[in-house]
Amino acid sequence: MNNRKKLTLLVIVASIVHPSVALAYVDPGSGSVIVTTILGFFAAIAYTFRKYFYKLKRKMFGGKSDEEDSRALDD
């Protein structure tokens, strides 16, 4: 078995035996701040874009505020 094959086998075995949930020392939630920063950045861009889009749409066609819609508990 050449090195490349050995490596492929190792990766496959590791992916099978690697525990998906482990009681490790690093708090799994410590990555949350990274995730929320990335997602928050894109969400803020989308939010701003949507705000202006709906403002324009409301001016042209009328209808309810997008903010009211997103705050309601049900559709």
Partner 1 sequence: MINAISGSFRDPSSRVYAVDAPDKKGRAIYRGVDSETFENFQKLQAEPFYKQLENENRVVKTTLCAPADPVAKEILEAGWAGVMRHEPVSLVSYSYEWSFAMLRRAALLHLRILTDALEAGWTVKDSTPYNIQFEGTAPVFIDIPSFVPWQEGEPWVAYRQFCCCFLTPLMMRSHLGINHLPLLRSYLDGIPPVEAANYFRGFSRFKRGVASHIMLPARVERRIEARERDAVPAQDRSQRKVSRKYVLALVESVTRLVKSLSVNIEHTDWSEYDKTHTYDDDEFQAKKGFVQEFVQEKKPSCLMDIGCNTGTFSKIAAEHADLVIAADGDHDAVQKLFMHESTHSAHNNILPLVLDLSNVSPNQGWAGKERSSFDSRANPDAILVLALVHHIRISANIPMALFLDWLRSFNCDIVIEFVDRNDEMVVKLLQNKTEQYLDYSRESFERELQERFKVRASKELKGGKRVIYHTEPL
Binding positions for partner 1, rule: CB under 8 A = 20-22, 24-41, 43-44, 46-47, 70-71, 73-75
Task: Specify the DSSP class assigned to residue 26.
Answer: S
**Cβ 33 to partner 1 shortest distance, Å:** 5
Q: Which two tokens mark 60?
A: 């042209």
Nearer Cβ to partner 1, position 5 or 68?
A: 68
Phi-psi region of 74 (alpha: psi -120 to 50; beta: other; left: phi over 0): beta
Contact 39, 55 (CB under 8 A): no
CB nearer partner 1, residue 5 or residue 27: 27
Nearer Cβ to partner 1 (2/30): 30
